[in-house]
Every structure is written in structure tokens, then in C-alpha cells.
Amino acid sequence: MLITADQRQNLESLIELAARGRALQHEHDNPEDAGALAELVAKHKDVTAQKASAAEVVETLRTQVADLTAVIEKKNRLIEKKTAELNAGTGLTSRDLVNLQDEIAGHRDKVAELEETELGVMEELETAEAALSEIETGLAEVTAAGRAMQTSIKDRKTEIAGELSEVEDAARKLKAELPDQLVRRFERNVAQGGPGAAILSGPHCQACGQEISGMTWHGMIGNDVNETYECEECEAVLLRRA
């Protein structure tokens, strides 16, 4: 089908627009940062598990400290009670007094031993709390980075949607200036996943790569440059390079 020079201009613009539209659609469906976001999501899962186990360690040590403190307090109350009994000395023989003194001394030794143990556990707890806090900081960073990336992907998608609708509007205007039959062929090829139309710079369909026979190609070269063709293989609209 022969088209006018103006229609040729429109068809060339339409080919460029369709390519732009395909690139935008591809970017929309395959965001550049999708891989990086997936990595962040995996890292977030990892660090969350690390945090849970670090928190468990801290919790266990805190319980140990609390238990030791309770035991020490109980012992100290006992020491106070026994010391009061010793000081009162009511109804106690000198042997009782010696025994009581020994008992108190034994409790005091035990308290000293427990306090030393508690001190060791407190040091462990401090280290564990510092590790947990470091993991929490890391987790907050991963979370923030993930959110920022999600937002940026979403924003870019919105931007692309806007650009795509501009491309569609412009394509609609160009199609209105082209013969209906040519537009139908163009759209049929697009529906099949093709570019719609292509410019030939040699004896190969630029849409599907199909070779054009030497005879056909020579015929095309002899024809008007604004003559359009249909690829026998993919049915795209073809136009020889001017």
C-alpha cells in the first residue's frame, strides 16, 4: 500500500513511539531495583532471626541475674534474722551461740560466692545487650533501606504509567492520520507481541529477522519509497528506509 510522505513521517514516529512504549512497559514490569530489593528482603529476614536469637541470650542472662539476686536477698534476710537471734542471745547456750556464729559465717561465704557469680553473669549480659543493640541498629538500617527502595520503585512505576499514557495518546493521534487498513495490520502485529511496523535497511524484516528474497527485495527497491509491505512471516508493516 502506497502512503503519502506525511503518512510516512507519522508511521516512522509511530514506530519510535511503540519502541518507547515497549521499553517503558518492560521497565515497569521488571524494575531495575527489584533484585536489590529482594536482597534487602532476604537480609531483613536474616537479621530478624539474628535479633531473635540475640534477644533470647539476653533474656536468659537477665533471668539468671534476677534469680541470683533473689537468692542473695533471701540469704541476706536469713543472715539478718540469725544475727538478730545471736545478738538477743535469748535462751541460747554458749554452744548454740558458736553454732549460730558458724551458720552465719557459712551464709556470708555463700553470699560472697553468689555475688561473684552474679557479677560474671552481669558482664556476660552487658556484652549480650551490646550485641543485641548492634543487631537492632543494623535491622533498622535494612528496614529503612527496604522502605526507601520500595517507595522509589513505586514512584518510578507511577512515573512510567504517566509516560505510557502520554505515549498512547500520541500514538492514537498518529494512527488517526494513517490508513485504517495499515493501522489494523500494525495493531495485529503488536497484539502478537511484535513492534507493529519496521523500517527495512536491507533484505531482512526488522521486526522478526525473516530474510526477504532477493527478487522481492529488488522489487521493493524499484518501487516508490513510500510503498508499504507486509512481512510474510510476522505480518508486520514494513517500509523501506528513505
Per CB under 5 A, does 231 bind Zn ion?
yes
Burial (0-12, 13-18, 19+ Cβ within 10 Å), 12: middle
Residue 197, strand partner residues = 237
- Evaluate whether 84 touches 35 at the Cβ level (below 8 Å): no
Which of 195, 218, 217 shows the shortest CA–CA distance to 208?
Answer: 195
**Between 40 and 238, CB nearer to Zn ion:** 238
Instruction: Name the residue with cell 527496604.
Output: 146
Per CB under 5 A, does 72 bind Zn ion?
no
Cα 127 from Cα 117, distance rounded (Å): 16
Total residues contacting Zn ion (rule CB under 5 A)? 8
Nearest approach, Cβ of residue 50 and Zn ion (Å): 55
**Between 141 and 232, CB nearer to Zn ion:** 232
Per CB under 5 A, does 234 bind Zn ion?
yes
Strands 197-200 and 237-240: parallel
**Between 137 and 192, CB nearer to Zn ion:** 192
**For the window 167-206, what string marks contact with Zn ion as x by the rule CB under 5 A?**
--------------------------------------x-
**For the window 203-222, what string marks contact with Zn ion as x by the rule CB under 5 A?**
--x-xx-x------------
